[in-house]
Chain A
């Protein structure tokens, strides 16, 4: 039997936590994404056309939206967990009658919500700066946004329970999450890469979620959106299984 009230409370607490510091958790990443947009659009708008009839700014916005979403989804669960571990207040959740699945769903649910919220803010502000066509497919867009945020929220839980100090979490973020998200076609089409790098991009699961979001926004993509959805969902399932196994084992949180 599920402890629904407990699950909802932990989810609400994780949401409440980031809403208490929206300048840091919502506005700052939105401003960062917009700075990328302004710089790259100003420099490259007249020089680069990735897809026929679509300006570089319009090409860039979906990538920036999803990159911001996934980085914030990761930051939400990972920073909350590492802070709770370092402060020692994780004990209050661990002594409660919450299952590993409830713990997982609450943290990942809040990460998805923050990802979507930051994504919407970036998109809304981008609308004022870039001539964007209407959203091609809200359903595809939502599916990839939720799955992408979920995958990174789950990776955030894994990083949060694995890391013993902030330094280790920063390493996870800077040496794994950041390269995978920058080298995933946010700023370019992988078809423009040399063959070796194009093939390498195809084994990066982040590429598929970014390509899928771009398909949802613009109706153009580097690979078939069904393939992208399959890879994104499959990757999310794999990291979910790993995360649930770690939680069930009590890895680094129940000694």
Chain B
């Protein structure tokens, strides 16, 4: 069974389409990245999954439960870490977690797990502090604890590392990896593509409400037709012939980066052309394209 199933979903706000027949599936226990430029429809899709937004048409299921007809089980299966640092200013961290557990039908029996969550997220010292006394990073941890308080099998993290410092980002990465290792399905939206590249196994790219790509990360990376050849030469060549100049993307002090077609530009032929200039190759390496390049390539194609 898929953790998330989205089938032909349409959603318009006023007359502006946000999702246009979007379909995708997220398998259980996967670490799934949902990428797209601003306005692509990511937040709308997450809102529909969490019951905050209602689709105009189509089918959406969380762990097999349809999000409108079977909303109780669908919502119990999902934990949402919202993008904004939102909180109720009347309550302390522990009180908020107890309230959140209560909304999900868990009473006192959730308390040991709440204590565990406070420890897991290094919030024990702040358990009795009011939210407005906490730093942004601490507030972010509380949001994660709130999303996990009912032990949902699927956790959606909507740009969890936006605006956090490096240390917290590393801590959040470690936490998400741990949740994934413990069997949770994780869905991550992020603007930091290196984050998706580091964490996600499978990636969907959406643009203008449509699915642009959906594949395993490695397959997605391999799908890109280009790679970069980086050379360090012993001295500056007099001039580059046209075939090399056409492929040159960056030039530094005796350093040259050429963009090569994965299938049409054999590395050996390029190296022969460089050597023919009468220079020695001191160092060389190949760089595979980053997710960022693929993202730009695909979203530009679909625009």
The count of residues in chain A whose C-beta lies closer than 8 Å to any C-beta of chain B is 29
Q: How far is the CA of A87 from the CA of B84 in the complex (A)?
A: 10
From known contacts A97-B73, A97-B76, A255-B53, infer whether A87 and B102 are also in contact, taking CB-CB under 8 Å: no
20 A–B contacts from the bound complex (CB under 8 Å)? A3-B105, A5-B102, A5-B106, A5-B107, A6-B103, A10-B102, A17-B90, A20-B90, A87-B88, A88-B84, A89-B86, A91-B52, A91-B82, A94-B50, A95-B52, A95-B80, A96-B100, A97-B73, A98-B103, A255-B47
Residues of A within 8 A of B73 (CB): 97
Given A97-B73, A97-B105; 11 other pairs, CB 8 A cutoff: A9-B102, A10-B102, A17-B90, A20-B90, A87-B89, A88-B84, A89-B88, A94-B52, A95-B51, A254-B51, A255-B52
- Chain B 28-60 interface mask (CB, 8 Å, partner A; 1/0): 000000000000000000010011111000000
Task: Confirm or deny: A38 has a beta carbon within 8 angstroms of a beta carbon on chain B.
Answer: no
The total of Cβ contacts below 8 Å across the A-B interface reads 83
From known contacts A5-B107, A8-B102, A84-B88, infer whether A94 and B13 are also in contact, taking CB-CB under 8 Å: no
Q: How far is the CA of A3 from the CA of B75 in the complex (A)?
A: 13
Residues of A within 8 A of B72 (CB): 3, 97, 99
- Chain A 91-130 interface mask (CB, 8 Å, partner B; 1/0): 1111111110000000000000000000000000000000
Task: Confirm or deny: A191 has a beta carbon within 8 angstroms of a beta carbon on chain B.
Answer: no
Task: Confirm or deny: A250 has a beta carbon within 8 angstroms of a beta carbon on chain B.
Answer: yes
Residues of B within 8 A of A95 (CB): 50-52, 75, 78, 80
Q: How far is the CA of A84 from the CA of B91 in the complex (A)?
A: 13
* A residues at B contact (CB < 8 Å): 3-6, 8-10, 12-13, 16-17, 20-21, 84, 87-89, 91-99, 250, 254-255
Task: Confirm or deny: B161 has a beta carbon within 8 angstroms of a beta carbon on chain A.
Answer: no
Task: Confirm or deny: B185 has a beta carbon within 8 angstroms of a beta carbon on chain A.
Answer: no
| Minimal beta-carbon separation of B160 from chain A (angstroms) | 15
Q: Top 3 A-B pairs ranked by shortest CB distance?
A: A9-B102, A96-B103, A88-B86
Residues of A within 8 A of B100 (CB): 92, 96
Q: How far is the CA of A96 from the CA of B149 in the complex (A)?
A: 11
Chain B residue with minimal CB distance to A12? B102
Residues of B within 8 A of A255 (CB): 13, 47, 52-54
A250 in contact with B54 (CB, 8 Å): yes
- Chain B 85-121 interface mask (CB, 8 Å, partner A; 1/0): 0111111000100011011111100000000000000
* B residues at A contact (CB < 8 Å): 13, 47, 50-54, 71-73, 75-76, 78, 80, 82, 84, 86-91, 95, 99-100, 102-107, 146
Q: How far is the CA of A21 from the CA of B78 in the complex (A)?
A: 33
From known contacts A95-B50, A97-B71, A97-B73, infer whether A6 and B102 are also in contact, taking CB-CB under 8 Å: yes
| Minimal beta-carbon separation of A85 from chain B (angstroms) | 11
Q: How far is the CA of A118 from the CA of B86 in the complex (A)?
A: 31
Residues of A within 8 A of B80 (CB): 91, 95
B102 in contact with A94 (CB, 8 Å): no
| Minimal beta-carbon separation of B42 from chain A (angstroms) | 15
| Minimal beta-carbon separation of A33 from chain B (angstroms) | 25
Residues of B within 8 A of A16 (CB): 90-91, 95
Chain A residue with minimal CB distance to B44? A255
From known contacts A88-B86, A95-B51, A255-B53, infer whether A9 and B71 are also in contact, taking CB-CB under 8 Å: no
Residues of A within 8 A of B82 (CB): 88, 91
| Minimal beta-carbon separation of B109 from chain A (angstroms) | 10
Q: How far is the CA of A20 from the CA of B90 in the complex (A)?
A: 7
Q: How far is the CA of A89 from the CA of B80 in the complex (A)?
A: 12
| Minimal beta-carbon separation of A88 from chain B (angstroms) | 4
A96 in contact with B88 (CB, 8 Å): no
Q: How far is the CA of A13 from the CA of B99 in the complex (A)?
A: 7
Option from B51, B78, B106, B146 in Cβ contact (under 8 Å) with A94: B51
Q: How far is the CA of A3 from the CA of B73 in the complex (A)?
A: 12
A96 in contact with B104 (CB, 8 Å): yes
Residues of A within 8 A of B54 (CB): 250, 254-255
| Minimal beta-carbon separation of A3 from chain B (angstroms) | 5
Chain A residue with minimal CB distance to B88? A89
Give the most central of B50, B71, B103, B105: most A CB within 10 Å.
B103
Q: How far is the CA of A121 from the CA of B75 in the complex (A)?
A: 41
Q: How far is the CA of A254 from the CA of B48 in the complex (A)?
A: 9
A9 in contact with B88 (CB, 8 Å): no
Chain A residue with minimal CB distance to B109? A5
Chain A residue with minimal CB distance to B74? A97
Q: How far is the CA of A93 from the CA of B300 in the complex (A)?
A: 38
Q: How far is the CA of A96 from the CA of B107 in the complex (A)?
A: 14
Residues of A within 8 A of B107 (CB): 5, 9
Chain A residue with minimal CB distance to B80? A95
| Minimal beta-carbon separation of B282 from chain A (angstroms) | 56
B86 in contact with A87 (CB, 8 Å): yes
Q: How far is the CA of A6 from the CA of B104 in the complex (A)?
A: 6
A254 in contact with B75 (CB, 8 Å): no
| Minimal beta-carbon separation of B222 from chain A (angstroms) | 37
Chain B residue with minimal CB distance to A98? B103
Give the most central of B72, B76, B105: most A CB within 10 Å.
B105
Q: How far is the CA of A255 from the CA of B18 in the complex (A)?
A: 12
From known contacts A95-B51, A96-B75, A254-B51, infer whether A9 and B87 are also in contact, taking CB-CB under 8 Å: no
